[in-house]
Amino acid sequence: MLALPAFAFALCLLAQDPPEPTAEQALPTIEDIVARYEQEGLEFKQGPCDGQLGAQAHIAVPEGFYFLDGDHARKLLELNQNLTSGTELGALWHTGGGPEQSWWVFFEFSNDGYIKDDDTDIDADGLLKQMQEATDVGNAERQKRGWPQMQLLGWHKAPFYDPRTHNLTWSKLVEAEGEQTINWSTRLLGREGVMSVDLVLGPERVDAALPIFGSLLEGFEFNSGHKYAEFTSGDKLADYGLAALIAGGAGAVALKTGLFAKLWKLILIPILALGGWLKKFFGGRKRPNEEASGPGA
């Protein structure tokens, strides 16, 4: 008998207009996030501009993107509790559609020599198992820092190679503290090594983001003297091929080249909601217009 009036009351509530979100519940704007990161010392360049990726390459940064150089990309990763390798060269933030539709791209270069692309026999299942085991190594380091654990759930898209563009691509489904993200990884082969390009976004954004990401990569170019086609006899050769590149150089090769650390480099940038680390990052901070309209304004 008591359930009936409660049910009627619930229907009445559903018929009413939803309450306006409070300042604490509202998502920060792109400008809020940029301003907050700048307080932490990050320096953004707003597109359109040219993004220099160390001495190796550059990328045309379109309108609707922000660019960070290597030092500031590394700082961004660490602020978001991601492990870094020290070889990051830059990051791009796509801000079209606001925070709910935004995503990140990170660039990193491994100077391990020219990688031959004649062996395209890739054991995707075996590589995934190796990467999941190696994730435990990364989680041990994350635990030391008091950071949450990350899990590699599986392939979002198994590895494939395009011999025309010399691009190796795959994507992983990653989870931390109940939040899932996609690490869409592209490896661009150069004369002296490989440029890692990692697109980081929520699973629900992949379909909309991939065409934009593809157009973005058309603006990427290795600098003169560093291109894959400019390889000459006597250049340094990498100690691994395409398959090992996916896992960062597996087993003994990884230990020999120092790429083992990258086996557990999974990236998660929480910007969907004011929860977890981001809530702490923005905690207690009012927006500029709120400050201006506060007491005594």
In a domain? residue 17: no
- Which range, of 11-25, 204-218, 237-251, 262-276, averages the lowest pLDDT? 11-25
Rounded mean pLDDT, 74-90: 89
How big is the CA angle at 121 (ends 118 and 122), to the nearest 5 degrees?
125
**Exposure b/e, 106-121, CB count within 10 A at least 16 = b:** bbbbbebbbbebeeee
Residue 12 lies in a domain: no
Number of Cα atoms under 13 Å in the Cβ half of residue 158:
8
Domain count across the chain:
1
Task: Please tell me the predicted confidence (pLDDT) of residue 278.
Answer: 54
For residue 268, report the phi and psi dihedrals to the nearest 5 degrees.
-140, 120
Angle at 144 between CA 139 and CA 150, to 5 degrees: 25
- Whether 290 is in a domain gets the answer no
225 against 143, higher pLDDT: 225
Least reliable range by pLDDT among 39-48, 110-119, 206-215: 110-119
Mean pLDDT of 135-150: 84
Segment holding 213, helix H or strand E: helix 206-217
- Chain centre to alpha carbon of residue 99: 15
Confidence check: pLDDT of 295 > 90:
no
71 in a domain, yes or no? yes
Question: Is 179 a member of any domain?
Answer: yes
User: 83-87, 106-110, 173-177, 289-293: which has the highest mean pLDDT?
Assistant: 106-110
Asked if 269 and 183 count as a contact pair (C-beta separation under 8 A), the reply is no
DSSP character string of 39-68: HTT---EESSEEEEETTTEEEEE-TTEEEE
- Identify which of 70, 1, 73, 34 has the alpha carbon closest to the alpha carbon of residue 287: 34
Give burial (CB, 10 Å; 0-12/13-18/19+) of 77: buried
The residue type of 297 is A
Instruction: Note whether residue 199 is domain-resident.
Output: yes
pLDDT computed for residue 280 by the predictor: 57
Does any domain span residue 13?
A: no
* Alpha-carbon 53 to chain mean position: 16
Judged against a pLDDT cut of 90, whether residue 28 lies above it is answered with no
Q: Please report which confidence band the pLDDT of residue 120 belongs to, taking 50, 70 and 90 as the band edges.
A: low
pLDDT at residue 115 is higher than 80: yes
Name the β-bridge partners of 109. 195
| Stretch 270-293: mean pLDDT | 47
Burial class of 163 by CB neighbour count within 10 A (0 to 12, 13 to 18, 19+)? exposed
Range of the domain at 112: 27-284
The verdict on residue 5 lying in a domain is: no
* Beta bridge partners of residue 188, listed in sequence order: 167, 195
Q: What's the pLDDT band for 117 if we cut at 50, 70, 90?
A: confident
Per residue in 53-76, pLDDT (tens digit) is 999 999 999 999 999 999 999 999
- Classify residue 19 by its DSSP letter: P
Average pLDDT, the chain: 77
- Binned at pLDDT 50, 70 and 90, residue 143 comes out as confident
Q: Which residue has the higher pLDDT, 115 or 192?
A: 192
pTM above 0.95, yes or no: no
Round to whole Å and give the CA distance between 181 and 204.
9
* Stretch 184-198: mean pLDDT: 91
